[in-house]
C-alpha cells in the first residue's frame, strides 16, 4: 500500500488533554478514526504520534492528505 485510504473528506474534531499522546491513523483503514487500531499491519504505514501541548479541540485530518500530519490543513477541499 503506497497511498492511504480517505477515511472522510473532513477533519475530526477531538477534545485532547495536555500531555497525553494520541496515535493518528495514517493509512485510513482504522475502524476507530481518526486514531489507529492496528489495521495498518502489512501496509508499510505506521501511526503518527501527536502529543497535546494544551487541553483543547484538535482537528485531526480525515482525508490523510494533509501536509501537516496529523492535523488538518484543508487538503480535503482539493480532493
Residue-wise pLDDT tens digits, 9-44: 999 999 999 999 999 999 999 999 999 999 999 999
Residue 77 included in any domain: no
In-domain check, residue 29: yes
Decide if 50 is inside a domain. Answer: yes
Q: How far is CA 47 from the centre of its chain?
A: 8
Q: Would 14 be classed as within a structural domain?
A: yes
Residue 78 covered by a domain = no
- Three cell numbers at 58? 484538535
Kindly state whether residue 73 falls inside one of the protein's structural domains: no
Give pLDDT, residue 56: 98
* Domain-located, residue 74: no
Give a yes or no: residue 27 inside a domain: yes
CA nearest to 34, candidates 55, 7, 69, 52: 7
Domain total in the chain: 1
Q: Which domain holds residue 11?
A: 1-64
Q: How far is CA 22 from CA 1, 9, 33, 44, 79, in A?
A: 23, 21, 12, 20, 26
Amino acid at each position: 500500500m503506497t497511498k492511504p485510504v480517505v477515511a472522510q473528506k473532513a477533519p475530526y474534531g477531538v477534545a485532547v488533554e495536555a500531555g497525553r499522546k494520541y496515535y493518528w491513523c495514517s493509512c485510513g483503514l482504522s475502524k476507530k478514526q481518526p486514531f489507529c487500531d492496528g489495521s495498518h499491519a502489512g501496509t508499510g504505514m505506521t501511526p503518527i504520534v501527536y502529543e497535546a501541548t494544551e487541553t483543547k479541540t484538535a482537528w485531526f485530518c480525515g482525508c490523510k492528505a494533509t501536509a501537516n500530519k496529523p492535523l488538518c490543513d484543508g487538503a480535503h477541499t482539493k480532493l
